Amino acid sequence: MEPRRKHSTALHTCHPCRRAIPYRIYAVIHTCGIIALMYHHVLSLLTANNTLITCLLLLSDIVLAFMWATTTSLRLNPVHRTEYPEKYAAKPEDFPKLDVFICTADPYKEPPMMVVNTALSVMAYEYPSDKISVYVSDDGGSSLTLFALVEVAKFSKHWLPFCKKNNIQDRSPEVYFSSESHSQSEEAENLKMRIRHT
């Protein structure tokens, strides 16, 4: 795989990883070991008195060898990719629809504030709002999480336009209001007060 020139219209370039050759040598040695082990199992099966244990050991080694082979096949040709998102010329109308699932179960192990910040961060993506859907799955059915999501739905009407208007990079309210790297405008202070009152 030859790396493409930077002046092309490719969205990414592939560079072969330098660790491929040592890993391939290791894979060949490991494969020889697996073949020798299978050969030993077959010989033991033909000559053993206790065939049940030998069959079970053979079966377990076949399963483990299969698992190793499937994971190794992915590592035989590793590449590093360099992306060029600035070359992407699609219009927002051409973007695919995006569904984001946020799963939570216990409001004490996963505080609702953390779930709410995650939902607000996703909703504030620079993505057409009619093309993105955010779903929160609460397996615990907590009324606390439900109340927090109802409140965040109200707060998002103020937070999302604020992020777009001020070109905010830290779109999680918790991160934004805890960082000292931004200058607190009057609008930001009002939003911070809204969070404290909910």
155 near 180, Cβ under 8 Å?
Answer: no
Ligand-binding annotation for 110, yes or no, is yes
Dihedral angle computed from the Cα positions of residues 159, 164, 170 and 175, in that order, rounded to the nearest 10 degrees = -10
Residue 46, both tokens: 């033909």
Do residues 110 and 104 lie in contact, with contact meaning Cβ atoms separated by under 8 Å?
Answer: yes
**Residue located via tokens 């998002």:** 156
- Which are the contacts of 13, defined by CB distance < 8 A and separation ≥ 6? 3, 4, 6, 81, 82, 84
* Cβ neighbours around 104 below 10 Å, total: 20
Say how many C-beta atoms besides its own lie within 10 A of residue 89's C-beta.
8
State yes or no: 139 annotated in a binding site: yes
Binding residues: 109-110, 139
Binding residues for UDP-alpha-D-glucose: 109-110, 139
